[in-house]
Structures are given as C-alpha cells and as structure tokens.
Amino acid sequence: MSRPPEPEKKLAIETTARQLFLEVGYQKTTYQQIADALGTQKSNIQKHFPKKSLFISDFFEDLLNAANGWLEERGPADDGYFEHLFRIGTLQFALMLSGPELQRFTQDILSSREVTEVIIQEDISWAGRYSSVFALDLSPRIQDSVTFVMGGVYEQVYQRLLRKDPPNPQQLMEHAVRMFAYSMDMALEAPEWMEPEVVSKAVRYLKETLFS
C-alpha cells in the first residue's frame, strides 16, 4: 500500500489535533495524544510541527483564508482594504466565540502569552500578504498598530471569557477599527454590521472547513 503524500499527512495531523484541542484543550493536548489518535509515532507529528504553537499559527492562517474566501464567494465587494479586513475579523471572532466549545478553546490559547504573540504575528503576516491585493505596503507603523490593536483585542476577549461574558464580534471589531484609526491618525469608520444570519452561515462554513 502506498503512503499518503506529505500534504495529506499534515492535514490529517492538523485535523486530529484541532479536534483534541476542542475536546481536552490546547494546553493539555500532548504530541503523544495526537500520535495515539492517528496510530503513529510522536516523531512523525514533531516532523511536521516541531513547535506546538505552529498548530495555532496554521489554524489562524487557515481561518483568515477561509473567512476571506467565504466573503469573496459572495461576490465582489466595494469595500476597501480596511473595510474588508473588518469583515474578515468579524467572522474570525464570530467563530472563536460561537459557543461553549470554541469559547473554551479561545480562552485556553489566549491564556498563554507565547501563543497570543504567535497569533498576533500571524495577523500581521496575513495582513501583509493580503495587502498585495490592494498594492499596499504594510509599513512598520502599520505593523506596530496591528500589534497594539490586536493585542488589546485578544486581551479583552480573554478577560470577557473569564467573566463568562463573551463580546459581540462585530462590536469588538468596530472598537478595533477605532483604535487602529486613532493609532494611525486616520479618519476611518467601521462599515455597517453584517446581518446576523449572514454571520451564522459563515460560522457554520468555517467550523466545517477547519475542524473536519
């Protein structure tokens, strides 16, 4: 029997790891548990993910790509760069806060400063890659502002989850836009909120795409 190609192996590892993160938590999931669930050796998992935080970096890259793809499939938008990122961010947090299971996962990963920093760096990297679509240069000042804004947003999400009072994703992103505009001395307004049923459809799509 031929062996599955490397991309398929990595996808199987990611899917299994994400399911374990939901079931037992990111912090408590070990390489050995992932290997046991796949019926393989721990070294095979570490070959693809030498650092555990890489699971989270890949997850957020996939999440942002999937949210962007879902929006683009709904037709071309008249939004500019920042308006489109607002909508992508709304879907990102809508998924992260979409029920007890995802909220536990979100609180778990945001409890680690190391992992939160990894997420912020992925936000910056993704925004930089996406900026090429709009022929924009992601300057150091913009990168610093993303760090400032998203660091505050993730801390707010974590503190609200500790109080069992999750924020509204669109309200959260509207606040983020205002923080970003202030940090950049820009006149930037958040676009109109997406309809709740639209967000719900997107969340169902994202769950299926990222966890199965």
Render pLDDT for 44-95 as a digit per residue (tens, 0 to 9).
999 999 999 999 999 999 999 999 999 988 865 566 777 888 899 999 999 9
**Residue 53 near residue 192, CB atoms below 8 Å:** no
Q: How much is the pLDDT for 46? A: 95
Phi, psi for residue 34 in degrees, rounded to 5? -65, -45
Which of 1-15, 92-106, 107-121 has the weakest average pLDDT? 1-15
pLDDT band at 113 (very low <50, low <70, confident <90, very high): very high
Provide the 3-class DSSP secondary structure of residue 20.
helix
- Residue that the structure tokens 């299994």 belong to: 16
Q: How much is the pLDDT for 2? A: 42
Q: Rounded to two decimals, what is the model's pTM? A: 0.90
Domains in the chain (CATH in brackets) are: 6-48 (1.10.10), 53-211 (no CATH)
- Mean pLDDT, the chain, as a whole number? 89
Give yes or no for residue 26 having a pLDDT over 50. yes
Of 145, 127, 149, which Cα lies nearest the Cα of 61?
127
Q: How much is the pLDDT for 145? A: 85
Give yes or no for residue 1 having a pLDDT over 50. no
Q: How much is the pLDDT for 92? A: 97
**Between residues 133 and 186, which one has the greater pLDDT?**
186
Render pLDDT for 157-181 as a digit per residue (tens, 0 to 9).
999 999 999 999 999 999 998 888 8
What number of CA atoms fall less than 13 Å from residue 129's CA on the CB side? 9
Q: How much is the pLDDT for 64? A: 94
Spatial separation of the C-alpha atoms in residues 19 and 15, rounded to whole Å: 6
Please give the average per-residue pLDDT across 111-117, as a whole number.
Answer: 95
pLDDT band at 5 (very low <50, low <70, confident <90, very high): low
Please give the average per-residue pLDDT across 146-165, as a whole number.
Answer: 95
